[in-house]
Amino acid sequence: MTTLITGATGFIGRHLAAALTAQGNPVLALMRRPDRLQTLRRRIDDLGGDGKLLAGMAGDLDLPALGLQGEPPDINVVVHLGATFAWGLDPRAARRTNVDGALAVAELARRNGARLVMISGFMMENNAHLQRLGISPDDPDGADWRRVYTRAGAYEASKLEGALRVRAFANRHGMQLIEVQPATVAGHSVSGELDPAQPLFSLIDNLAHGRFAMVPGTPAHWLPLVSVDGLAALIAAAVLAQTVPERLLALDPDTPNLAGLLAGIAAELDRKPPTRHIPIALLAGLLKIPGMPRLMNTSAESLHFLQTTRFNTSVTAAFLEAQGLKWAPMEDSVRASAAYWRSHSQAQSAVAGEHLHLRRH
């Protein structure tokens, strides 16, 4: 049984490819740069997987029909992780990759009669948020998407639109679709490995550099998290299990509130945690001032993910239990992520020092 993964070179994709190949399952990675297959194989070996079970196939979410050449590959499951993931994206570019690209992946799964495991995001289950944006989940055509892209930012809007349009496509064609909806991803629960491009890495970096003078929101605000290894194990189970719920909300309900999260990180980094709160609306206003996002190393778009909403995770909990899986305690993943940030920044400083030394001689 071969699983095609889009986004296998990304943070979650590498851990998923490692989890699947570690259990002896072949993986085919759709890659913009298939010449990087050997590098990816080594990274997957380093993560405890089996790089020999990984093959690559050239493809690009931005090209018509993914730019695939020749016969479609023989695959049983398609996991769609590939996406443009950043703040301040151009709406047209975000839409091309995250909406049109997702639909092209769904079409590939349909042609192969493959199960499609679509990775959306936990905001798909925040009904009040969807309502505020004017989105009715059963009617993607009814939303004023131009307005949604302006209000939510192009990344989040394109992820919501892509997921809803893929749901409608799968419904129309009677396909098997499983949607995994991850919270913000934390580092590995043991090694703490966390890609520097991840939002939690920036949050740790901001705290370490004193850019968090106050806690955004109120004591009820939290940033729901899931560890990357817990998420990879959940997606692997969604690939391999016979019976899987249609939607899996990948979110650890025991994630501490934002003040607790910042305190946990601060303790690991030997910093003083912020204790006073700043209203989200005020922070969002500050971030509209030119130069502020750069100074504060964040974007108003990222504030949407801080919230007071609590989610029903009972379906995922039952599936995890049936699969013999369990989330590792979130404090461990947070502590490990902060420790990883420290060793990563020390290594970066050592490299910078080495360059300076070489330049001086």
Total Cβ atoms within 10 A of residue 204: 30
Q: Which is nearer to ligand NAP, 166 or 244 (CB)?
A: 166
How far is Cα 337 from Cα 183, in angstroms, rounded to an integer? 16
Question: Considering the complex, what minimum distance in angstroms separates the CB of residue 176 from ligand NAP?
Answer: 19
Q: Which is nearer to ligand NAP, 239 or 275 (CB)?
A: 239
Question: Considering the complex, what minimum distance in angstroms separates the CB of residue 178 from ligand NAP?
Answer: 14
Question: Considering the complex, what minimum distance in angstroms separates the CB of residue 240 from ligand NAP?
Answer: 19
Q: Which is nearer to ligand NAP, 184 or 337 (CB)?
A: 184
Q: Which is nearer to ligand NAP, 35 or 270 (CB)?
A: 35
How far is Cα 105 from Cα 61, in angstroms, rounded to an integer? 8
φ/ψ bin of 217: left (φ > 0), alpha (ψ from -120 to 50), beta (otherwise): left
Question: Considering the complex, what minimum distance in angstroms separates the CB of residue 124 from ligand NAP?
Answer: 10
Q: Which is nearer to ligand NAP, 25 or 302 (CB)?
A: 302
> What is the contact surface with ligand NAP in residues (CB under 6 A)?
6-7, 9-13, 32-33, 60-62, 81-85, 97, 119, 121, 159, 182, 184-185, 195, 197-199
Question: Considering the complex, what minimum distance in angstroms separates the CB of residue 286 from ligand NAP?
Answer: 24
Which residues fall within 8 angstroms of residue 256, CB to CB, at 6 or more apart? Answer: 222, 263, 264, 330, 331, 334
The residue of the chain with the least Cβ separation from ligand NAP equals 10
Question: Considering the complex, what minimum distance in angstroms separates the CB of residue 33 from ligand NAP?
Answer: 6
Q: Which is nearer to ligand NAP, 275 or 297 (CB)?
A: 297
Alpha carbon of residue 341 to chain centroid: 18
Helices (DSSP H) in the chain: which residue ranges? Answer: 11-22, 37-46, 91-95, 101-112, 127-132, 145-152, 154-173, 199-208, 228-240, 258-269, 280-286, 292-296, 314-322, 330-360
Q: What DSSP string runs through 165-216?
A: HHHHHHHHHT--EEEEEE-EEE--TTT----TTSHHHHHHHHHHTT--SSEE
Question: Considering the complex, what minimum distance in angstroms separates the CB of residue 85 from ligand NAP?
Answer: 4
Q: Which is nearer to ligand NAP, 14 or 24 (CB)?
A: 14
- Grouping H, G, I as helix, E, B as strand and the rest as coil, residue 328 is coil
